Amino acid sequence: MDEPLPVEPMLATTADSTVDGPEWVFEPKLDGIRLLAARDGGRVRLLTRNGKDHSERYPELVDALGSQPHDRFVADGEVVAFDGNLTSFQRLQGRSGKRGDAARHSAVAVHLYLFDLVHLDGVDLRPSSLLDRKERLRSSFAFTDPLRYCTHSTGKGPELLDHACAAGWEGLMAKRVDRPYRGGRSTAWLKLKCVADQELVIGGFTDPRGSRSRFGSLLVGHHDDEGLRFAGRVGTGFDQQTLDRLGDLLAAREQPESPFVDPPTGRDLHWVRPDLVCQVGFTEWTTSGRLRHPRFLGLRDDKAPSEVRRER
């Protein structure tokens, strides 16, 4: 279900190199799902960046937000699950399809890291600087599990990124300390990645081989000015539960024509309606625009397929 967003989320731009200087602060890049946490009196909503309501998926987070001392706010954050000491989008996928009590009693524990405060008690904080908003956030909420404050660091960006990568993190978020909160893509927030991953649209699949059931590989792509551009085949990262779930979704979307402007060729190809978005990890892009060593990480419903573009 899509809900009206209380504010348009501020989005980061992927950077080719790190930044440095006192005008920047650095936060850990979390491997989860971005959520706006909105409370209006007795109602708490958890909304994705495209307006899907995930409140029933994370009832323990709704409870934690509903117990805060302020009854009207909009905060920005990310829901995560941990695999050891690291956040893991694949681990978070264990909550997919679960709602209400089934989600509450899931073996996959979740936490909500809040990193920005947009509204509080009727006051619009978007014109304030980032550091002012974060200080207001830290002083206004009771941060006990599963609610956590996303800390930030200052210092030399390259050194902090090296440390983050050595520790196995996804990377860092670099944010300008003096900038307001403005909806849409911005260079005031930058993604500094340690690992390569990409949101991609599923446009087809291949027949299974050997002991594999349901399908062999996913045919994925991203949008450019001409349409959906083929980016490669993803054939690893699936357990049997994922194969069965995806197999049902693909079968319901099968269509005779290719959605790609440059479709691959072969005898075992099947095309689907391109309305599913997945997260894919890989080592690099080839010179021909294909993914090298891709692996499936999970489905995403927090981004519209039409918004999926290749990250540079």
Catalytically active residues are 29
Neighbouring residues of 23: CB distance < 8 A, sequence distance ≥ 6: 176, 177, 178
Alpha-carbon gap, residue 169 to 38, rounded angstroms: 28
Pairing mode, strands 184-193 and 10-14: parallel
Assigned token pair, 286? 């080839």
Neighbouring residues of 67: CB distance < 8 A, sequence distance ≥ 6: 142
Place of tokens 């399908």: 215
8 Å CB contact between 111 and 95: no
Alpha-carbon gap, residue 13 to 138, rounded angstroms: 25
What sections of 181-261 are H helices per DSSP? 240-253
Alpha-carbon gap, residue 217 to 212, rounded angstroms: 10
